[in-house]
Structure 1
């Protein structure tokens, strides 16, 4: 979008927050860059330059605006709506792959050479993978400087910097303030604390593009929560996290203009990755204006969208975990699926400490489940075969599932496994892989909703009718599901833990 100068100028002059994260405005006369909605007086048109990423702005020598804090904008929704190499690379960079494995590791995951990856990212984002990862480290550093009391050395380590000197130099270059001056400035302005301080945790806010309807988002996560791994406590969805360097527990609280996030991590190096995975699970980088605008064009869907706009697709923090749970949930009730999953957790999950709640385990990894005794599963024999085959494929790497998956390749691999029909494949594509166009025409709830709205209710006819909703059919499913009075469609009441 940043190449459409006239459109960008209009967005800046109207301070349109819908475009935050889509592009950035670099001002040649001041040497700063801003988000489109910056509250400052818009610069003259001839002094504006539009760039596609914060990394591109920083690489061009621009500093982040101290008023609008462009580095804290929601991420570009473009990376979650595409499955090409650039989009998959961006999702991996946000998940910390460059910091852990370097650019060669990123390229290997994508199946390209290092040079090809660098060339594609530079062409589309104006910055290579190292610059993009550096911008993310700077954002994490700012977050910790302003919202925690951690020593600067610990912040540098947690944000992924290789040395204190690199940390100091980057913060000064990007924000035009030293780390200590940045903290002092935040303290003078009252800071950005959004949750009460809890010993051993970090509290921060996760921004999103409005509107966001939390009902089905949190309702779905809580209604399907696996005891010991997930819970609803004191108005927050809480769950355990398996992370590259350790484990964590996160509490996510819906707010009117942000999601409150409280993290307890065994290793601070996992902070950036934990934030990225929580944003992914809650679909916070979606563009509700684009999604709802297209769905509202259908006169039969328009009333649903107008009634409760901003529905998100509830995702997962672990694609392999969700695939296992999807198989356990085949043709059984939500309660039965939770029971089956809880038994696996108790038998094979790694124990964790949770002094602030009732969480007890990580969901077992495919490697841990590889020793599963199929006879111990209280499910039909055919489903045992489906589950054990899936676990083997996940454990030996022949079925890679993750944020970097090629959606169609993953579908082909899944459908090649015994017991994987269209519903299971599409629910994994929707909630584990993040395909915004995944569709469930055979789902009973979708068919009932379609019939009630006057839409075709047979899978083939509904699929044909849903062609007008592309590429947002996964969001259309959320609106269709919401027509039923089910727990997945309601924000749970604020009270103690539920399991």
Structure 2
């Protein structure tokens, strides 16, 4: 979008928050870059320059605006509804792959040469993987500076910087303030108000922004209804869950607010902060563009009324693709309650124990490697589903099936379908929630079919697939509206045909 100068100028002049994260505006006369909704008086069009990423604006010599804090914008939805090289790379960078494995490791995960990855990212984002990772480190550092009492040296290494000098130079360059001044300004801003910071040692509190509108009932309601005991819970108005992270583990508490999601992150290693934030945003689908989605879906008269009643539905996703795939198999042909029971037993037997000072969470969901040694005979389920589960776990543990943020969606679909007992419903549900494909469409889902028939849409899977062509590429969002249509009862995600 940043190449459409006229459209960008209109967005800036109208302070349209919908475009926050889509592009960034560099102002030649001040040397700062802003989000489109910046509250200051818009600059003259001839003084604006547009960039596709904060990293590109920083590389062009602009520093972040102190008023609108463009580095805290919602992420661009562009990278969540695409499955090409650039989108996969962006998702992996957000998950900390460059900081842990370097550009060589990123390229290896993507299956391309480092030169090709560099060239593609520069062409679309105006910055290479190192610059994008640097921008993320700067934002992580700012969060830690403003919301935690950590010494600056600890902040530097927790944010991923290799030295304190690099940390100081980067913060000064990006925010035009020294780290100590950032902390003092944040403290003054909190004086006499409700602080967003946490007084609990090791816990970081922050806000996760999103684009309006957002209807939280299906999002949080679905997560709570399918919560695995010991791994997830609803407590004090917050959805809470354990997180397995690269350097340790954590517990996320997520509370819906009118204009943001309040997050409390308890981490065993602060280096996991940026990754934990990225996974929570992905879990709640916070980088979506609900206006674009709803506008297209509402062109279908049968969906228009549902959308008008509760616009902005998101797709409840996951923090771990392998975990969700296992849970999807456990949920085949059984009720939500039975699926939770099966998953809870696996967690108790194979999950890693954790301590939760603020609630009742007890375990991390077991890794595929831990589940690879399970005894199928000990599973209280039909033999065919035991075979499916063990085959899935073996493929995940061996690395033959990649369901991570940087995976190839179509290749993952093919690999899933090759496993015994994995049919179209499981493939599409995993694609929707684990892979994040916004066009995934479980047409054989009984809940979807019943809702469609009730709205006057085709009831057979084949006819419904043909009708849904007009909903593309947002069919996963159409599913959320259809699931909201039936009367209350057992969640339709588990009312599925035999595969």
TM-score per shorter chain, which class?
over 0.9
Distance in 2 (alpha carbons) for counterparts of 1:49 and 1:389? 53
CA distance in 1, matches of 2:203, 2:190: 20
1:150 is aligned to 150
- In structure 2, do the counterparts of structure 1 residues 488 and 120 end up closer, same or farther at CA, with 3 Å as the change threshold? farther
Distance, in Å, in 1 between the alignment partners of 2:69 and 2:490 is 35
The residue that corresponds to 2:368 in the other structure is 366
* 8 Å Cα contact 2:39/2:67 also seen in 1: yes
Q: Judging changes above 3 Å, is the alpha-carbon distance between structure 1 residues 378 and 421 closer, same or farther for their aligned structure 2 residues?
A: same
- Give how far 1:155 is off: 1.0
Q: Which runs of 5+ in 2 are unaligned?
A: 492-499
Superposed counterparts of 1:40-189, under 5 Å: 40-189=40-189
Alignment of 1:37-436 (within 5 A): 37-190=37-190, 193-194=195-196, 197-436=199-438
**Superposed displacement of residue 195, structure 1:** 6.4
Once the two structures are superposed, residues 45-98 of structure 1 have per-residue CA deviations (whole angstroms, 9 ceiling, x without a partner) of 100001100000000100000000000000000000000000000000000000
Question: Which among 482, 485, 498 is matched to residue 484 of structure 2?
Answer: 482
What is the DSSP-based 3-state SS (H/G/I as helix, E as strand, rest coil) of the residue aligned with 1:446? helix
Residues 223 and 487 of structure 1 are in contact (CA less than 8 Å); yes or no, is this contact kept in structure 2? no
Aligned mate of 1:454, from 453, 456, 468: 456
Question: Secondary structure at 1:300's aligned position in 2?
Answer: helix
Q: Hey, what's the Cα distance between the residues in 1 that align with 2:463 and 2:298? A: 20
SS of match in other structure, 1:203: strand
Shift of 1:197: 3.2
SS of 2:166's equivalent in the other structure is helix
TM-score (norm 2): 0.97
| CA distance in structure 2 between the aligned counterparts of 1:353 and 1:486, rounded to whole angstroms | 35
C-alpha distance in 1 between matches for 2:422 and 2:35: 44
Specify whether residues 488 and 260 from structure 1 end up closer, same or farther in structure 2 by C-alpha distance, changes over 3 A only: farther
Alignment check: 8 A CA contact 1:195 1:260 kept: no
Deviation of 1:488 (Å)? 8.1
Instruction: Between 378-387 and 188-197, report the one with greater CA deviation.
Output: 188-197
User: CA deviation digits over 1:78-135, x for unaligned, max 9?
Assistant: 0000000000000000000000000000000000000110000001100000000000
Contact 1:220 1:487 in 2 (8 A): no
What SS does structure 2 have at the residue aligned with 1:301? helix
Residues matched between the structures, number: 489
Contact persistence 2:147–2:197 (CA under 8 A): no
Q: Is the 8 A contact 2:336 2:490 kept in 1?
A: no
Unaligned runs of 5+ in 1: 490-499
Could you say which residue in structure 2 is the equivalent of 1:494? none
1:448-481 superposed Cα distances (whole Å, 9 cap, x missing partner) = 1101110001000011001110000000000000
Task: Indicate the residue corresponding to 2:473 in structure 1.
Answer: 471
Report the Cα distance in structure 2 between the residues aligned to 1:150 and 1:487, rounded to whole angstroms. 47
The structure with higher relative contact order (CA 8 Å, sep 6+) is 1
- TM-superposed CA distance for 1:184, in Å, is 1.0
Contact 1:229 1:360 in 2 (8 A): yes
- The question of whether the paired residues in 2 share the 8 Å contact of 1:172 and 1:178 is answered with yes
**Partner of 1:25 in structure 2?**
25
Instruction: Name the CA distance, whole Å, in 2 between partners of 1:486 and 1:59.
Output: 52
- Match of 1:241, SS state, is strand
Offset of residue 199 of structure 1: 3.4
Cα pair 2:282 2:318 within 8 Å, conserved: yes
- Output the CA distance in 1 between the equivalents of 2:456 and 2:348: 45
Residues 55, 131 of structure 2: 8 Å contact kept? yes
Secondary structure class of the residue paired with 1:264: strand
Give how far 1:198 is off.
2.8
Stretch deviating more after TM superposition (374-383 or 144-153): 144-153
Per-residue CA distance 1:400-436 (angstroms, 9 max, x = gap): 1111111111101100110010000000000000000
Secondary structure of the 1:432 match is helix
Match of 2:3 in 1: 3
Distance in structure 2 (CA, Å) of the matches to 1:188 and 1:41 = 25
CA distance in 2, matches of 1:210, 1:19: 11
> 2:335, 2:490 within 8 Å by CA — same for their partners in 1?
no
Question: In 1, Cα distance between the equivalents of 2:490 and 2:97?
Answer: 33
- Compute the displacement of 1:179 (Å): 0.4
Local SS of the residue matching 1:290: helix
The CA deviation string for residues 136-160 of structure 1, in whole angstroms up to 9 with x for no partner, is 0011111111122221111111111
- Using the alignment, how far apart are the partners of 2:27 and 2:232 within structure 1? 46
Secondary structure of 1:189's match?
helix
* Aligned-residue offset at 1:196: 5.6
Given that 1:195 and 1:262 are in contact with CA atoms closer than 8 Å, whether structure 2 keeps it comes out as no
Cα RMSD over matched residues? Answer: 1.1
Kindly indicate whether the alpha-carbon contact (under 8 Å) linking 1:354 and 1:360 is maintained by their aligned counterparts in 2: yes
